[in-house]
Homo-oligomer: A and B are copies of this chain.
């Protein structure tokens, strides 16, 4: 059985940083029940989270090592992780699925931080959470979302190296596009071919692969692939979140099938110039809003509302911050973000483009192999 993905120093650094923030904020403990946070602080990584049956808990005290409160089935893997203590129960349990153990673990603490804010969820039954609150009358639950997100936004060199590796795998896979995609192929076949290419090139998993194809643009960017066949004049887009040791890349690429329309080439060029404008100014001191506005300036108002223009990236496909007008987060060295401008091409048609970068002292560093400014044509 493999231990955590990084040397112990990585987890010690993470713990030290969060405990310092907890001290400043006057929090006695943090309580986590979600995959990313538990993995971030302990290195506990398993696909077993796919099963919704069992809850998993972690308590991070203001001083000392984290305490895991988990189903017995995970005990061996968790003991190899960065925790001071592993408390287990036999789960599923019809009457008490870890709740008594959890109340006991949290009772010593009066100010308990947890994730309650934007981009978070509660991965345990709501009834059990209500019972937890009722079972801790002496404790106050405090929103620690900002504190935890602020820390996770800035990646260590070890994290950046992992993300860079999966970005390189995805870039290499996209470079094989002329061999993978062709006119007459169904979108489902194209997706399958690309997934296999990603795995062959070293991706561990492909939890996210969406895309679309259509004459001069595509209808949406979240659908599963259809059985429609690629036709000459289609623009094909694939957007992939492949993973390596639990870290994501998140990039997309466009390809014209057979030939590219004037409009599609123009839009691709505009999106490329938009990401270039953001790339040029992406450095410490600038804000997420600055990047958003740099891209919006190139795209112009007729680009329409196609959501934000990028986001944080790491253990999750999308993480804070957001490249939107309301996000004033200052860029810091070590932040890994996506540049993801999009625009309306025509009625019900859009095009998007996405690169991954890391903020450095000085110019940002591209983690993806930069897309060409000219829309590539396959089989032309």
Residues on B with C-beta less than 8 A from A225 are 2
Binds B, one of A254-262, A295-303, A315-323, A358-366: A315-323
Q: How far is the CA of A195 from the CA of B222 in the complex (A)?
A: 23
Q: Which of B1, B45, B74, B318 contacts A212 (CB 8 A)?
A: B1
From residue A33, how far is it (CB to closest CB) to chain B in Å?
8
A318 to chain B: closest residue by CB: B51
Q: How far is the CA of A127 from the CA of B125 in the complex (A)?
A: 15
Q: Which of B116, B195, B200 contacts A125 (CB 8 A)?
A: B116
A320 to chain B: closest residue by CB: B53
Q: How far is the CA of A141 from the CA of B311 in the complex (A)?
A: 35
Check B2 against A224 for contact (C-beta < 8 Å): yes
Q: How far is the CA of A276 from the CA of B38 in the complex (A)?
A: 38
Check A76 against B219 for contact (C-beta < 8 Å): yes
Q: How far is the CA of A113 from the CA of B125 in the complex (A)?
A: 14
Is A97 close to B, CB under 8 A? yes
- CB-contacts of A288-339 with B (<8 A): 305-308, 311, 316-319, 322, 324, 326-327
Check B122 against A127 for contact (C-beta < 8 Å): no
From residue A73, how far is it (CB to closest CB) to chain B in Å?
5
Residues on B with C-beta less than 8 A from A52 are 36, 119-121, 316, 318-319
Is A143 close to B, CB under 8 A? yes
Is A273 close to B, CB under 8 A? no
Is A199 close to B, CB under 8 A? yes
Is A137 close to B, CB under 8 A? no
A222 and B316 contact, Cβ closer than 8 Å, known pairs A114-B126, A121-B122 = no
Give this chain's copy count.
Answer: 2
Check A322 against B224 for contact (C-beta < 8 Å): no
A126 to chain B: closest residue by CB: B116
Residues on B with C-beta less than 8 A from A121 are 52, 121-126
Q: How far is the CA of A118 from the CA of B99 in the complex (A)?
A: 12
From residue A38, how far is it (CB to closest CB) to chain B in Å?
13
Check A196 against B200 for contact (C-beta < 8 Å): yes
Residues on B with C-beta less than 8 A from A241 are 50
From residue A140, how far is it (CB to closest CB) to chain B in Å?
14
Q: How far is the CA of A348 from the CA of B79 in the complex (A)?
A: 13
A46 to chain B: closest residue by CB: B222
Q: Which of B2, B47, B97, B212 contacts A209 (CB 8 A)?
A: B47
Q: Which of B1, B127, B207 contacts A223 (CB 8 A)?
A: B1
Residues on B with C-beta less than 8 A from A205 are 206
From residue A320, how far is it (CB to closest CB) to chain B in Å?
8
Q: Which of B48, B122, B124 contacts A210 (CB 8 A)?
A: B48
Q: How far is the CA of A94 from the CA of B115 in the complex (A)?
A: 16
Q: Which 7 A-B pairs have the closest CB atoms?
A: A48-B222, A51-B318, A122-B122, A116-B127, A116-B126, A2-B226, A46-B222
* New A-B pairs, 4, CB < 8 Å, besides A47-B222, A52-B319, A196-B196: A2-B225, A116-B126, A188-B204, A204-B224
